[in-house]
Structure 1
């Protein structure tokens, strides 16, 4: 499998892109375009989700996981207070 990333969404907007926790030392690529994913995530109408993506051999990004954050550990390199400020306050 190619590169993997975890994206952090608040109210349908991507607020953070981090390395996936399985290969935590692989930084997110600069060319990740989430434009097509925005409507789908916003359509879920959820206050917070994480979405994991993996790059296929042909270079296309594919969603491989979506969750409500229960199993999403704090990303390496992101301070706890920085992650907390992203979360919805409802």
Structure 2
């Protein structure tokens, strides 16, 4: 089998942001573990992606986003717990409390 791979490069103006989701609800937003001291320049707008993430019907997800130069947040990576690292700047207790607070 052969084929072509096309890439489109986008310009981002922020470091990646990691979000943690329980039963389709975002329970925590923080820096990406690879850049724990980099906060986004503006508040993350989850409204466009929230219904899509909830529609997956998964009990736990992490979603990494970055801000494009046109002001739109782009999903960079979505994981089902395999990439759910905690950045060093978020205390373990904060993360545990956020994950347990969402009613199931």
Could you state the TM-score of these two structures normalised by the residue count of structure 1? Answer: 0.84
In the alignment, structure 1 segments of 5+ residues that lack a partner are none
CA radius of gyration, larger in: 2
Runs of 4+ in 1 over 4 A off after TM superposition: none
Say whether the 8 Å CA contact 2:37–2:89 is kept in structure 1.
no
- Name whichever structure is richer in strand by fraction: 1
Unaligned runs of 5+ in 2: 1-11
Once superposed, what is the RMSD of the aligned Cα atoms? 1.9
Q: Aligned pairs, how many?
A: 90
- Tell me what 2:47 maps to: 35
Contact persistence 1:17–1:28 (CA under 8 A): no
Q: CA deviation at 1:58?
A: 1.4
Is the aligned partner of 1:2 residue 2:43? no
Aligned to 1:51: 63
> Is 1:71 matched up with 2:83?
yes
**Is the CA contact 2:65–2:74 (under 8 Å) kept in the aligned structure 1?**
yes
TM (norm. structure 2) is 0.74
